[in-house]
Amino acid sequence: MTQTPALIDRALIEEATKKSGLIWVQGSDGPTRALWHVWHDGAACLVGDGPGEQPFAGLGLADGGPATVTVRSKDKGSRLVTWPARVSEQTPGSDAWQAAVEELKGKRLNAPDAEHVADRWARECRVLRLEPVGSLAELPDGSLAAAPPTTPATTRRPIPAALPKLLRKGLRGRSRG
């Protein structure tokens, strides 16, 4: 039994994307951004563009438009495959939207409103489906590293020098109790 290169490519895309926690997505214009996803029904499904969700703004992810998806190895973190995709925005409440949201809810970590997250996504977010089209893209030779986008988040400051000593003292006092 021989398999065509298209079937092998499709299997590689599916397996790599299923196993990776993040994919790097670039729309028709704009930068490439790491986004969490689920693989559902032959495509990568994403939720974002709402308060507290991953941003799609500036990526050029329009309904019916193209996107390029790069998948990394979960073990090594290196690029495995890059594939072209067609973006389709799911209509809230449709059967396809419901099925995608059920899968996405299971992967959404730390949702502030886990019981009502689907309702919030229907009101405030976009659910996108990135379906593979065409053949695999050639992996580039060099690094694709880019400067991270600006953010109001800050890194932690160094802990005060006396803190470890105070913590040790507190632990010793409890063990005598």
Amino acid letter for position 73: S
Task: Report how far residue 50's alpha carbon sits from residue 55's, in angstroms, rounded to the nearest whole number.
Answer: 7
pTM of the shown model: 0.75
Q: What is the rounded distance in angstroms from the CA atom of residue 109 to the CA atom of residue 142?
A: 33
Provide the pLDDT for residue 173: 57
Q: Which CATH number fits domain 5-150: 3.10.310.30, 2.40.30.30, 2.30.110.10, 1.10.760.10?
A: 2.30.110.10
CA angle 15/19/25 to nearest 5° reads 90
| Per-residue pLDDT, 168 | 77
Low-confidence ranges of the chain (pLDDT < 70): 1-3, 139-140, 144, 170-177
- Residue spans of the domains in the chain: they are 5-150
- Predicted confidence at residue 17, as pLDDT, reads 92
**Cα 17 from chain centroid?**
10
Residue ranges in 60-153 assigned as alpha helix (H): 95-107, 117-124
pLDDT of residue 93: 92
Are 133 and 84 spatial neighbours (Cβ–Cβ below 8 Å)?
A: yes
